[in-house]
Amino acid sequence: MSLRPPVSEQDHIQGNPGAAIELVEYGDYQCPHCGHAYPIVKQLQEALGDKLKFIFRNFPLSEIHPDARLAAVAAEAASRQGKYWEMHDIIFENQEQLKKSNLLEYARQIGLDLPRFQTDLESSDLMDIVEEDFESGVRSGVNGTPTFFVDGRKYGGSWEPEAFAAFLNSRLKEA
Amino acid sequence: MLSPGTTAPDFTLYSTPDQKVSLSEFKGKRVILAFYPADWSPVCGDQMALYNETLRFFHKHNAEVIGISVDGKWCHLAFSKDRNLHFPLLADFEPKGAVADQYGVFDEKLGECKRALFVIDEEGIIRWSYLSPVGVNPGADGILDALEQMDATVQK
């Protein structure tokens, strides 16, 4: 199963854009498994350094996680002020509290222009971006969260740190 | 397992404790039949929860989704409420698995439906089918590909 569409400038990319390995996560900010994966991804980024770039795409399962979609919009809204990853991190670090009032507090903590952030939270353009991510996930064969793609191919193995690091290192040798 | 081109056998099953649903009621619409082993799968994004989120994409292609398992109507009711599902789950409960058996997707050893998908057109003809390994959530991309192909054929 391959990623469609492939990673482009539309995506949020963390790390060296020319890195040998491309790791994409489809995630849901309110999903406990994604919360579990969050520090693991950080560990992998640290271990692989500039050999890894990380891309996050939204896959909110809104019916079971009612706050997930607004949290995704909040990250996109922060992106308009150049602080996507700061918002991404603070949301995952507080994923049990994702009501609007919480998101506003996180926005304040990372130093966003609050009135602008609040307006952007209602933006239909940003909601469309989240929806496009979701649809791309469905078309790429994402069937739950988190789902990872390594170099454009769906990763079916374990994403616990040792197994995942071993897999990525083996990719690195092939590259 | 019934193959594309076959007329989908009609059936009538309980969708709630006091309501029944028949396949024939959906004439003029496309129907996605999703047979699955059991309610209460332990993961977040299980198959039915996923289809609940992808309903809006199915509707664009004039398609409705129906889940079918051998769980009873009360079990379906509780599961459906818990997951906030917006489509019917049918109970292939008595005689157990009879509808799944007609479609060739009943696992007699386990006494459960296999994980199988059928896309049925407006006239009640099966146009696409897929059998997934039982532990693997087949997702929605295959269904959407099938629906798009059907749209393309209609336009010709």
B21-71 pLDDT, tens per residue? 999 999 999 999 999 999 987 665 689 999 999 999 999 999 999 999 999
CB contact under 8 A, A31 and B45: yes
Question: Is B113 designated active site?
Answer: no
Domains of chain A, by residue range, sit at: 13-174
Measured between beta carbons, which residues in chain A are less than 8 angstroms from residue B141?
1, 138-141
Is residue A11 predicted with pLDDT exceeding 70?
Answer: yes
User: Residue range B77-94: average pLDDT?
Assistant: 95
Q: Within 13 Å, how many C-alpha atoms sit on residue B124's CB side?
A: 11
Q: What is the pLDDT of residue A117?
A: 98
Q: What is the pLDDT of residue B136?
A: 87
DSSP state string for chain B: ---TTSBPPP-EEEEETTEEEEGGGGTTSEEEEEE-S-S--SSTT-HHHHHHHHHHHHHHTTEEEEEEESS-HHHHHHHHHHHT--S-EEE-BTTBTHHHHHTT-EETTTTEE-EEEEEE-TTSBEEEEEEE-TTS---SHHHHHHHHHHHHHHH-
Q: What is the pLDDT of residue B134?
A: 84
User: What distance in Å separates the CA atoms of residue B60 and residue A92, rounded to the nearest whole number?
Assistant: 33
Q: What is the pLDDT of residue B46?
A: 85
CATH class as words, domain B12-155: alpha beta
Q: What is the pLDDT of residue A83?
A: 98
A27-57 pLDDT, tens per residue? 999 999 999 999 999 999 999 999 999 999 9
Single out the catalytic residue among B18, B28, B44, B133: B44
AA letter at B30: R
A108-126 pLDDT, tens per residue? 999 999 999 999 999 999 9
Q: Within 13 Å, how many C-alpha atoms sit on residue B31's CB side?
A: 25
Q: What is the pLDDT of residue A93?
A: 98
Chain B touched by A143 (CB under 8 Å): yes
Is residue B155 predicted with pLDDT exceeding 70?
Answer: no
> How far is B94 from chain A, CA to nearest CA, in Å?
30
Beta carbons of B13 and B91 less than 8 angstroms apart:
yes
Measured between beta carbons, which residues in chain B are less than 8 angstroms from residue A138?
54, 57, 139-141, 144
Longest dimension (CA), chain B: 45
User: Residue range A165-170: average pLDDT?
Assistant: 96
Q: What is the pLDDT of residue B35?
A: 97
Q: pLDDT band at B154, cuts 50/70/90?
A: confident
Give domain A13-174's CATH number out of 3.40.50.2000, 2.102.10.10, 3.40.30.10, 3.40.50.720.
3.40.30.10
